[in-house]
Amino acid sequence: MPSPALSLRRPSWLSPKVLRTEVLGGLVVALALIPEAISFSIIAGVDPAIGLFASFTMAVTIAIVGGRPAMISAATGAVALVIAPLNREHGFGYLVAAVILAGVFQIVLGALGVARLLRFVPRSVMVGFVNALAILVFMAQVPELRDVPWAVYPLVAAGLTLMVFFPKVTTVVPAPLVSIVILTTITVAAGIAVPTVGDKGALPSALPVPGLPDVPFTLDTLATIAPYAFAMALVGLMESLMTAKLVDDITDTRSSKTRESVGQGIANIVTGFFGGMGGCAMIGQTMINVKVSGARTRLSTFLAGVFLMVLCIAFGPVVSEIPMAALVAVMVMVCFATFDWHSIAPKTLKRMPAGEITVMVITVTCVVATHNLAVGVIAGSVTAMVIFARRVAHLANVTSVTDPDGTQVVYSVTGELFFASSNDLVARFDYAGDPDKVVIDLASAHIWDASTVAALDAIETKYAQRGKTVEITGLNEHSARIHRTLSGELSPGH
């Protein structure tokens, strides 16, 4: 009999039920990865095997070193778009070198705590990010539905119908896997001529082998690849960290964003040395794994990479026969499951502040227009900060009370004082009409920055020019420290 201590240490995936879920989830993800990896290879301008190798090494490595269990990392369109110009202008060797350097950048950024910046991403940006991803995944399926045999459309409809109703019968086997198997069987048995996975490109017939990038190891090479590598590192980290946060919310668990950042770097370095095109977290396949299949552990991520290579090498001819219609149906279902429909419901929009809606719309628009998640998240976050700054700026208020004998006036300032609110502060005082002694009471205010100290200095100067004295009272400890440190040091003469 095993001891209680050993039982407690047993991984959760050793449970038969969990193990089945993880294995089947990994298999479904592997099937969905194949056409995606091939498509992203085409975007990057490399052989389809390069994208498949990258998906294999990224998934297997991140399963071990990543910080978010059950999240899928592989070759992605965002990374492909960043490195495509480098491959086109300088060749594949430079692309591989950039992938390795991007991994180094990600490890450094992770160690420096870049993951902590995620706290500054507002909820409205997160909702826009999720909705934009769902739209992008759907848009990526549209080309598979243009100029195709008519049989594709009923196959897609059948696949969607199976995935909607099959879970009502049983959830033992993932509905997407059932849909893929049934539609493949029908098309092969009936000899229906429709586009298949094999039409996307040749599948690899052997495992990747490690090696060094074929580039001169000089400063010129470093200068050439560094901008692309840094852009890839930022885009990859942003997409991965946002996806990790989304999975945290779905699974009601926490993950280590710093470990995920460093893990993404390690995975990209490994991928580069194996001749892959690099990658990051994939929202579509992650949703298949977590939301559709119900996977929760690292095993599903690891098996997704393993199954991918097994399917390509051992079962290449069979996998090549899978109709693209089956995979399109799976991805369309993922889009509907991913999109936050509650966020656009009329009832929600009526209650939501206009600023929140604006931020969400800007995030979605920028992501969809540029196909770059980083652009959308940055634009949405900056917009949210501007709206917040304007909103808080209006909360600063100034009231005055003059003593009955007319010898002193007390100005009470309330609110948060920073660059947006303190810029108007100077105009709120009656310099000519006030008595000789002026008291500015900041007991209900808080000084946040140098702009506020400069404004207070300007107020004192204006009164001094008229022979009047100013006393500032009520400063809390933080505000007093800032004022004491900076007062008198911010004029052009200093």
Is 257 or 334 the better-scoring residue by pLDDT? 257
Most confident of 86-90, 113-117, 121-125, 326-330: 86-90
Q: What percent of the chain has pLDDT over 90?
A: 54
C-alpha of 349 from chain center: 24
Write out the chain in H/E/C secondary structure: CCCHHHHHHCCHHHCHHHHHHHHHHHHHHHHHHHHHHHHHHHHHCCCHHHHHHHHHHHHHHHHHHCCCCCCCEECCHHHHHHHHHHHHHHCHHHHHHHHHHHHHHHHHHHHCCHHHHHHHCCHHHHHHHHHHHHHHHHHHHHHHHCCCCCCHHHHHHHHHHHHHHHHHHCCCCCHHHHHHHHHHHHHHHHCCCCCEHHHHCCCCCCCCCCCCCCCCCCHHHHHHHHHHHHHHHHHHHHHHHHHHHHHHHHHCCCCCHHHHHHHHHHHHHHHHHCCCCCCEECHHHHHHHHHHCCCCCHHHHHHHHHHHHHHHHCCHHHHHCCEHHHHHHHHHHHHHHHCCHHHHCHHHHHHCCHHHHHHHHHHHHHHHHHCCHHHHHHHHHHHHHHHHHHHHHCCCEEEEEECCCCCEEEEEEEEEECHHHHCCHHHHCCCCCCCCEEEEEEEEEEECCHHHHHHHHHHHHHHHCCCCEEEEECCCHHHHHHHHHHCCCCCCCC
CA dihedral 305, 308, 314, 319 (to 10 degrees): 170
Mean pLDDT, all residues of the chain: 88
Instruction: Out of 169-173, 248-252, 311-315, 442-446, pick the least confident.
Output: 169-173
Burial of 328 from C-beta contacts in 10 A (0-12 / 13-18 / 19+):
buried
Give 52-99 pLDDT, tens digit per residue: 999 999 999 999 999 999 999 999 877 887 888 899 899 999 999 999
Residue count of the chain: 494
Question: Tokens 């009526």 correspond to what residue?
Answer: 350
Average pLDDT over residues 425-452: 92
**What residues contact residue 342 under an 8 Å CB cut-off, 6+ apart?**
348
Say how far apart CA 42 and CA 494 lie, in whole Å: 58
Average pLDDT over residues 93-119: 92
Predicted local confidence at residue 234, as pLDDT: 86
Whole-angstrom distance, CA of residue 488 vs CA of residue 474: 19
- What is the spatial distance between Cα 425 and Cα 412, in angstroms, rounded to a whole number? 12
> Please, which residues have CB within 8 angstroms of residue 43's CB and are 6 or more apart in sequence?
77, 80, 81, 84
Query: Of 13-22, 104-113, 311-320, 440-449, which gets the smallest average pLDDT?
Result: 13-22
**Is 90 exceeded by the pLDDT of residue 458?**
yes
Query: Each residue of 188-213: pLDDT tens digit?
Result: 999 999 999 888 877 888 888 999 99
pLDDT of residue 14: 67
Residue 491 is predicted with a pLDDT of 62
28 contacts 288 by C-beta, under 8 angstroms:
yes
> Are 111 and 262 contacting, i.e. CB atoms less than 8 angstroms apart?
yes
Nearest Cα to Cα of residue 387 among 412, 351, 363: 363
Tell me the per-residue pLDDT of 128-159, one tens digit each, with 9 for 90 and over. Answer: 988 887 888 788 888 889 999 999 999 999 99
pTM to 2 decimal places: 0.73
- Residue 2 pLDDT greater than 70, yes or no: no
- Residue 416 phi/psi, 5-degree rounding, is -90, 125
Q: How many CB atoms lie within 10 A of CB 303?
A: 23
Residue 36 or 169, more confident: 169
Is the pLDDT at 462 greater than 90? The verdict is yes
Closest CA to 232 of 116, 95, 63: 95
Judge whether 428 and 398 are in contact, CB under 8 Å. yes
Burial class of residue 284 in the structure, from the number of CB atoms within 10 Å of its CB (0-12 exposed, 13-18 middle, 19+ buried): buried
pLDDT at 239: 84
Bridge partners for 59 per DSSP: none
The C-alpha atoms of residue 242 and residue 373 are separated, in whole angstroms, by 10
Amino acid 173: pLDDT: 79
pLDDT above 90: residue 120: no
Say if CB 37 and CB 54 are below 8 A apart: yes
